[in-house]
Amino acid sequence: MSENEPTAPASQASDAPLFVGAVPNRYIITLRQGSRDIQSEAIRLSSVTSVVVTRMVANPTKGMSSPAEAVITLGWGGVSRVDLEPAGCDDPQCEADHGYTGVLASDDFSLRVSAAADGADSVARLLSFAEQVSARTHSS
């Protein structure tokens, strides 16, 4: 997947993906940072520990339809996210401190594509790429 032009003016462009792709043993991610800097990262397939794909539909109550948006998140251990929230119990009268509960998630790279902003074809291409990434990651 590639983006030939930044989606914002150069003065506002930040971490805009220019290219996300795969070669035989690596994933390549190229990001625009600011107006002039470009960062590329090559990640070994064997390093990828998670591939998460999220599909959003415009009106889920009307049954199955093409996704209006899709997000792929790749994790290889470089960045982790901790989501915490207060723990509790089912007793509405309970005032005890139950501590916290949470999730530790790998969150190295996420790419979101919207049919409204990027076109339905872009959403389909991202989902196709996600299937390829998942298949190549699990077979390595």
Give 63's contacts (C-beta < 8 A, 6+ positions apart).
Answer: none
- Top-confidence residue, 133 or 19: 133
Give 11's contacts (C-beta < 8 A, 6+ positions apart).
Answer: 35
- Top-confidence residue, 120 or 75: 120
Residue 98 Cα distances to 87, 92, 111, angstroms: 5, 13, 36
**pLDDT one-digit tens code per residue, 40-71:** 778 888 888 888 899 999 888 888 888 999 99
> Does 8 map to a domain?
no
> Does 83 map to a domain?
yes
> Does 41 map to a domain?
no
pTM: 0.64
**pLDDT one-digit tens code per residue, 104-116:** 877 688 888 999 9
> Does 43 map to a domain?
no
> Does 34 map to a domain?
no
> Does 24 map to a domain?
no
> Does 135 map to a domain?
yes
Domain that holds residue 53: 48-139
- Top-confidence residue, 92 or 18: 92
Please count the structural domains in the chain.
Answer: 1
- Whether the CB-CB separation of 62 and 104 falls below 8 Å is answered with no
pLDDT level of residue 17 (50, 70, 90 thresholds): low
> Does 19 map to a domain?
no
In angstroms, how far is CA 5 from the centroid of its own chain? Answer: 20
